[in-house]
Amino acid sequence: MEYITLNNEVKMPIVGTGTNTYGKVNKDYNGELKNEIPELESALELGYRSIDAAISYRNEALVGGILAESSVPREELFITTKVPAREEYVSSKESTRAAIDNSLKNFKTDYLDLLLIHAPIEDKEQLKNTWEVFEEYYEAGKLKAIGVSNFKKNHLDELNEFAKVKPAVNQIQINLTEKNKELLDVLKEEGITPVAWGPMKTEEHQDKVLDEIGKAYGKSGAQVLLKYQIGRGVVVIPKSHNRENQAANLDLFDFELTAADVEKIDNL
């Protein structure tokens, strides 16, 4: 595994696994929860250590139970979760504290590696209060890093007006159909690490080019795409319920794309 160093010197695995449909009937985001997550168990066995969760996914306790029962030491895990930008979680500092405390309980741990605001909070006072609670838990060592998700430049500018701790990451959609280049440039300038959700999304004509590039390395087009993203400093959190695909999504560190390869992908 390779790591990226966040702006507070915390090291984050550059590849992780999403969990938004894990442990759910029919692998459906809105499906009922089951009592097992074999897909997470296989991910851990294969070497995934960065686990991307969220309160909104409804399966924190299930994910947390698997992590706590696994043979992987806590210090090797990088656990991310997210507080929803909904009234019940951000209406007051007390409600935000309760949300964080409950997440810590769900993951059976005394600290989280990364906590994000899941979406922009439009009420500026609520945003300020929420971030101040994040900073409070960060200063107390209960959060190793704090950040945001789905924030655009105007949201980051608003946060910067009062934040004492700069967000370490912004988790946004980054793929070949939603390149988000302007926002990526802003994040680079600000020293905020981009984390890509939905990194595998492509169109058919793009798949053909990726597959062709992959042939030279004995890799799939999907592996080429993930390699392209991590090669430019983007953390990726692909998700699969299939063990073979999970393994392939980690098998990225024994080849390097050429400048010509990168240019082809840039132009897709």
The tens digit of pLDDT for each residue in 85-134 reads 999 999 999 999 999 999 999 999 999 999 999 999 999 999 999 999 99
Q: Which residues contact 264 (CB under 8 A, 6 or more apart)?
A: 209, 213
What's the pLDDT at 40? 97
Residue 147 lies in a domain: yes
What's the average model confidence in pLDDT over 214-226?
97
Kindly state whether residue 225 falls inside one of the protein's structural domains: no
Phi-psi region of 108 (alpha: psi -120 to 50; beta: other; left: phi over 0): left
* C-beta neighbour count of 266 within 10 angstroms: 12
> Could you tell me which residue, 5 or 178, shows the higher pLDDT?
5
Q: How far is CA 47 from CA 52, 65, 73, 155, in A?
A: 14, 18, 12, 35
- What CATH number corresponds to the domain at position 166? 3.20.20.100
The percentage of the chain sitting over the pLDDT mark of 90, rounded to a whole number, equals 99
Q: pLDDT band for 157, please (50, 70, 90 cuts).
A: very high
Quote the number of domains for the chain. 1
Range of the domain at 177: 3-202+234-246
How high does pLDDT run on average in the chain? 97
Span 175-204, pLDDT tens digits:
999 999 999 999 999 999 999 999 999 999
Within a domain: residue 266? no
Tokens 């005394």 correspond to 110
- Kindly state the average pLDDT of the residues 245-268: 96
- pLDDT, mean of residues 212-240: 97
Is the residue at 260 inside a domain?
Answer: no
Q: Is residue 27 part of a domain?
A: yes
Share of the chain above pLDDT 70, in %: 100
Q: What pLDDT does 251 receive?
A: 97
Q: How many Cβ atoms from other residues are within 10 Å of residue 242's Cβ?
A: 11
Asked whether residue 62 is assigned to any structural domain, the reply reads yes
Q: Is residue 88 part of a domain?
A: yes
Tell me which residue of 144, 137, 257, 235 sits closest to 184, measured CA to CA.
Answer: 235
Q: 15-52 pLDDT, tens per residue?
A: 999 999 999 999 999 999 999 999 999 999 999 999 99
The pLDDT-based confidence of 72 (bands split at 50, 70, 90) is: very high
Which positions are catalytic? Answer: 57
